[in-house]
Amino acid sequence: MARGKTIRLTSLALANALLPVALLVFAVGFFPYKPLLPGLATFEDDRENGGWAGGRLEPVFDRVIFMVVDALRSDFVYGHNSGFHFTQKYEQDMIHGRESDTDVPCSLIRDGAAIPFTAHASPPTVTMPRIKALTTGSVPSFADLIFNLDESGSGANLATQDTWLAQIKAKGGKLVFFGDDTWLRLFPNDFFERADGTSSFFVSDFTEVDHNVTRHVPAELESDDWSAMIMHYLGLDHIGHKTGPQGPNMLPKQEEMDGIVKSIYEAMESQPHLAKSLLVLAGDHGMNAGGNHGGSGPGETEPALLFASPKFKERKNPTTYECPTSPKEGTEFHYYRKVQQSDIVPTLAGLLGMPISKNSLGVFIGELAEAWSDASRKAQIMYQNARQISKIVEAAYGADAYSTAVEKWSTCLRKDPSAGDCGIPDDQLSALAKRWSSTTLTMSGGSEARHGDMSQEAAAFLTVAQDILSSAASSYDVPRMVLGMLICGIALVMTLVSLPAVWPPSTAGSFFAITCFLYGIMMFASSYVEEEQHFWYWLTPAWVALLTAENVIRSRQRSEKLACFTSGLVILAVHRIAIRCNQTGQKHAGEPDIVHTFFPEHHLLMWLLILATYGYTCWMVAGRTFLDLVPGEVAALSAIVLAIPAVVFKLNFTHADAPELVQDLALQIRVWTAPFSLVSQAQVSFAVLLLAALTVSAMAVSLARGTELARKDGPAVNVTLAERLHHLLTLFLITQSRATNIPLFLGFALQSRALHQLLHSATHTDTEIVPRRSAAIPIPELATTALLLSHTYFFCEGGSNSISSVDLSNAYNGVGDYNVAAVGLLLFASNWNGPIWWCSVAVLMTFSRPSQAIDDSRTKTNGSRSWVNQERSKLRQDASATKPSSPSSAQDTNLWLWYVSCMTAFVAAGLLAVMTACTLLRTHLFIWTVFSPKYLYAMAWCIGWHLLVNIGFGGALRGLGSIA
């Protein structure tokens, strides 16, 4: 028996040690860094580049004002309900009373002073990868999504890469920057002459984060010592995260941004040193119907892009644009012509007279060529652009292979310009070689009459090259990916070895196995991955119904049958309400739900439920956490002291975060606490919780030491230390939840009580119950229930398999300065608080309640500890008189080992399925928008939820519950 237990424990330990190894090995093969061409691009001499085509272009502009508005979706600027009045249309309310048409306020787009586009932002649509695309012109790696959360800057650096900013510095220009400090992480070490950054993760700030940028603008517009001024505004993105694109603060924020555009443009018209300035207004990404971003959903990949300058009015035969306008037919956010965000890089290079960055996959935007009066200039910049991308093609396919293919097509095309006898390209390299050969042959003519043909040939090559090189998203290391899968498979086999019993299968064991199998199959379908919540929403009530029916049948007494039936109904009723709290996934995101539709209209009811949740938790802290440790009055007072700071912080945080959910409630409390920052309020709340946890642990251990209560498998105690800490954990998790999700914890409590009735009903017999610390509970039933409820509540609280659903609002609670460990912990706790809570409940389920004999023998002393001395002799008598037979290891001493084995089996099987899907479907259209984010979530579930929470935190709670 002992040898078998050792084998199982060793197998389980090795399996869990292999899981992070498998994750890392697979990730290295799946998310490799792309090779980059080193150094800065330079203009080559005319002879090497074929005469005039290689010369330096005359710059149209001498400085650029690059204004990034985070999450500036295209309709925010071009649509009929836009707040960008100065940018898009005449302000009719300002026309009345003016004496002449010359006094009519300018409309940038209608007057021809601005050229509008919709810029495609390829996934992942988060800030850091998008800034890389905007500055280098390359397609960032999906791994940049991880670096986006690292404010330390250790994961990414563009200071040594070829960007349009580096090109400006190379020719002696100076840069200034204000806004999102992601830029300062990408360009560190005094890259900018002047800079003032603001953290992008304080998403509750709608105003100060933008005022910190705007306050620098007037002085910088007066100054003439810079060549580029970059501004990155964050407020509009924060509003989207908090209230969605239709929120009440969205239109005023658009009007504020439009006012910045107006002040800059008017300075460009009036200030001589700004006469040759170019204003670029760009969104780094858009947002979906829920106000989030990160994936490839509608609106996330379609931000606005606008080039503006008074010089554009001097163009000959300029293109006219109607604005405001509607999106193209069949689309939601496609306005005007769609370009790639990477196209900004060669366009700025041409307009500012700089070499195009070496790693850029962008194509010069043809409409901007109207800035030159000479038609040959467009052909020149297009050819330079084509030569630059041709070098990337050469590096990607090999110099020898590419030159051989080019020579083959050049020889054939010289003989037959129509290419009729040259055949059809049979692969991507051949297609690129043919296009480049045609381009060079056309350019070699040099006739001014053929400038249009030259531009078209170069544009054709650029379009094909950009499409092929951009779609080659990653050079997968397949052997390493297979090795990661193999290691994960070994971990799964070792987990199965650690299970104490696999055959004959029980009902719960069979259901658990079916869940693992169906979950694995689901990972191979993109639609199912996007809408994974439905899998758990349907499977959970099916299991609860089955568990209820089984326990009703097993129960002997009518009262027990009724109790089991009622418990099942309670769990199902709460489940039905919970799944309506947050609409998640892709298809239904943004549709009406309780959190986003009902609560804003009934905020009083929401706060009553929040106060009820805090009140219930406070009652449990007083009645269970401090039970038998301090007198009842002191316990009640201590619970109130713990709850009040948390409630006040949540009230003030919600008012700053979503004022429409608070309005005029508790105005006096908010006035009293106004002098204290939200950071300090959160710190007070966390500090008193930590102090309470340490005090309770010390007192509980001290109380149990030297008595039968300290025996690991001895008689049951009234309250285990695990349960004492559980209620303090609940207070912490409530603080880390959005206010609208807090009432879910009332549902948690109802379901946990009902679940206790169901899981323990099977152990009720008519024989005398021997008091023991560990419960005689069917672990497969507990593991199945905990697994289903953990995943269900992850999605009920708004989670999904899209990066856009990650909630950053509570990641900085109590954090004054960035700390990667603190922010990571708070971020995980705020997004996985439901699964964390149910892990703690699972631990409590493994402990039995006090036996009736112990309860009857206890002297009621109103909370004093005198009962301990009386109970010691009673417990010792019971222990000596009754020597219970050793229970089976599966049922008692190895409860937690069995539970962890079940969870490890699911995690290993699910992770293996995700790895296999990513490997087999690596050429799938949605590999970077669906399957790659799912792999990142699988990593979070494995490392965060399973290894740290289930094994680390859960094991610690189980150990503490065995001590006291």
Rounded distance, CA 475 to CA 250, Å?
41
Give pairs for 711-715: CB < 8 Å, separation 24+: 711/773, 712/773, 712/962, 712/963, 713/772, 713/773, 713/774, 713/892, 713/893, 713/962, 714/772, 714/773, 714/875, 714/879, 715/771, 715/772, 715/773, 715/851, 715/854, 715/875, 715/878, 715/879
CB 442 within 8 A of CB 417: no
Torsion of CA 122, 124, 126, 131, to 10 degrees: -50
CA pair distance 317, 335, nearest whole angstrom: 22
Which is nearest to 337 in space by CA: 324, 349, 328, 347? Answer: 328
Looking at residue 104, what is its pLDDT?
A: 46
Q: What is the pLDDT of residues 846-900, one digit of tens each?
A: 887 764 444 444 434 344 444 444 444 544 444 444 333 333 333 444 778 889 9
Q: If you average pLDDT over residues 516-544, what whole number do you get?
A: 94
Q: What is the pLDDT of residues 255-300, one digit of tens each?
A: 999 999 999 999 999 999 999 999 999 999 998 877 778 777 778 8
Same domain, yes or no, for 507 and 589? yes
Whether 12 and 120 share a structural domain: no
How is the beta sheet containing 277-282 ordered, strand by strand? 194-198, 175-180, 228-233, 63-69, 277-282, 304-308, 114-120, 338-340
Domain at 266, CATH number: 3.40.720.10
Q: How many domains does the chain have?
A: 2
pLDDT of residue 349: 92
**Predicted local confidence at residue 767, as pLDDT:** 42
Query: Has residue 231 got a pLDDT over 60?
Result: yes
Q: Assess whether 108 and 20 both reside in one domain.
A: no
Judge whether 305 lies within some domain. Answer: yes
Same domain, 650 and 720: yes
- Going by C-alpha positions, the residue among 787, 909, 790 that lies closest to residue 521 is 909
Whether residue 933 lies inside any domain: the answer is yes
Residues 19 and 121 grouped into a single domain = no
Q: What is the pLDDT of residues 397-451, one digit of tens each?
A: 888 888 888 888 888 877 766 655 666 777 788 888 888 888 887 776 554 446 6
Instruction: Kindly tell me if the per-residue pLDDT of 193 is higher than 60.
Output: yes
Mean pLDDT of the chain: 83
Identify whether 791 is part of a domain.
yes
Q: Judge whether 692 and 728 are in contact, CB under 8 Å.
A: yes
Q: Are residues 21 and 80 in the same domain?
A: no
Angle (deg, nearest 10), helices 451-471 and 376-397: 30
Instruction: Give the residue from 353, 387, 419 where a domain finishes.
Output: 353
Q: Are residues 18 and 124 in the same domain?
A: no
Which of the residue ranges 142-156, 496-510, 528-542 has the most confident prediction, judged by mean pLDDT? 528-542
Residue 50 in domain: no
Higher-confidence position of 707 and 938: 938
Task: Compute the chain's Rg from CA coordinates.
Answer: 33
Instruction: Decide the pairing of beta strands 114-120 and 338-340.
Output: parallel
Sequence-separated (6 or more) residues with CB below 8 Å from residue 766: 556
Average pLDDT over residues 608-613: 96
CA 835 to chain centre: 17
Query: Is 585 in contact with 283 (CB distance < 8 Å)?
Result: no
- What is the pLDDT averaged over residues 661-688? 90
Mean pLDDT in residue range 192-220: 81
Residue 547, CA distances (Å) to 553, 565, 712, 774, 841 in order: 10, 10, 30, 22, 18
Co-location of 786 and 901 in the same domain: yes
Residues 636 and 501 placed together within one structural domain of the fold: yes
Q: Domain ends where: 353, 380, 404?
A: 353
pLDDT for residue 779: 87
pTM over 0.85: no
Boundary-marking domain end, from 353, 382, 402: 353
Q: How do residues 787-823 score in pLDDT, each as one tens digit?
A: 999 999 999 999 998 887 888 778 888 887 667 788 8
Give a yes or no: residue 18 inside a domain.
yes
Predicted confidence (pLDDT) per residue in 362-409, tens digit? 999 988 888 777 767 778 888 888 888 888 888 888 888 888 888 888
Q: Which amino acid is at 892?
A: D
Position 36 in a domain: no
pLDDT at 44 over 70: no
18 and 95 both lie in a single domain: no
Closest CA to 628 of 814, 862, 958, 302: 862
The beta strands (E) that lie in 271-330 are given as 277-282, 304-308
Share of the chain above pLDDT 90, in %: 43
Note the pLDDT of residue 882.
Answer: 38
Residue with the larger pLDDT of the pair 89 and 545: 545
Query: How far is it, in rounded angstroms, from Cα 524 to Cα 920?
Result: 9
| Residue 451 resides in a domain | no
- Whether 426 is covered by a domain: the verdict is no
Name the band, by pLDDT with cuts 50, 70 and 90, for residue 960.
Answer: confident
- Looking at residues 733-755, what average pLDDT do you find? 94
Pair (673, 625) in one structural domain: yes
Model confidence at 94: pLDDT above 60: no
| Residue 197 neighbours by CB under 8 Å, 6+ apart | 177, 178, 179, 180, 181, 183, 184
Domain assignment of residue 545, given as a range: 5-25+482-882+890-963
626 and 677 together in one domain: yes
